[in-house]
Amino acid sequence: MPRPPLTKRLGVALLLCGVVALVATSAGGCGLLDTFHLEITEYTCESPEIPPAFDGLRVAFLTDIHLGPTYTEQDLESVVGLVNLLQPDLVLLGGDYVYGSTDYESACFAYLAELEAPLGCFAVLGNHDYAPSAAAEPGPGQAVRAANDAGINLLRNQGIWLQIEGQRIRLGGVEDYQVGHPQWEPIGQGTNTDDFVLLVSHNPDFSEDLPPDAVDLVLSGHTHGGQVTIFGSWGLRVPSEYGQKYRTGIVENDVTTVIVSNGVGTSTPVPLRLFAPAQVVVLTLRAADSPSVHP
């Protein structure tokens, strides 16, 4: 059978592209426009272990910035300004500050140093923050120095007590699950079942290794919401040992509750998001009679 004329084939191709774009950008502005769209996604964590002094405390969680060739310093400056406008009480950073090279660490943390929160800014490392063994300086050295120079508290298998009016909660952060050596034990030292424990782990898979009832809530990123998804319900690639389970949102496992953020940047040479918009997560803590995590 003879092929249709070139002009007809081009017309059909353009029509198909238009249909795909129309479908992908429907549903309230989602779809292909997610590449350039940033959402503020709010969650509330209720627990009887949250002290009254922490009731209403707002936490901004920013992860997977991936500063580099496609996510620019101007993009990051805008996000930092947005987070400051939210006036959080505490800022937590979930790792993967760069993409392509750890040489971007210094620039990234220089902007993150402008984040403002009364209780401070705390960070963990992600897999992209470790330079490969073939690099001039392998490992996370550049990220560690950049965080220190920026005055940002880097938690590497460490826990601290946050205190307000003599009451306290435990905040912990672990090394990356994929390329680091995450350990729960140093964080859990000195805590008991009556303490509210909030843990930051770049990779949500680590939450499966926690002791039962040791951690009330884990904040993670890494999976980018699938980054390219089928109408937001299935990610083409989710970098997790548990498949789609930790793609995005609230996940209950056998030992704790995890909030997985889509993150801000992208981890591919082409900055594409499809039905997986970039996110800044805002978490509000509430003292309550029974535990619950919900939008």
Splitting the chain (295 residues) into consecutive groups of 10 residues, what average pLDDT does each group show?
44 36 42 75 98 98 96 96 98 97 97 98 98 88 98 98 98 98 97 97 98 97 96 95 98 98 93 95 98 97
Please give the pLDDT value at position 33: 54
Closest listed residue to residue 255, CA positions, set 184, 160, 191, 190 = 184
Please give the pLDDT value at position 13: 35
Please give the pLDDT value at position 31: 52
DSSP codes, 30-66: -GGGGGG-EEEEEEEEEETTS-GGGTT-EEEEE----
Please give the pLDDT value at position 34: 72
pTM score, two decimals? 0.90
Q: How far is CA 48 from CA 172, 249, 283, 294, in A?
A: 19, 22, 16, 15
Please give the pLDDT value at position 74: 96
Please give the pLDDT value at position 32: 53
Q: For residue range 202-225, what is the model confidence (pLDDT) as tens digits?
A: 999 999 999 999 999 999 999 999
Between strands 278-287 and 257-260, the pairing is: unpaired
Please give the pLDDT value at position 268: 87
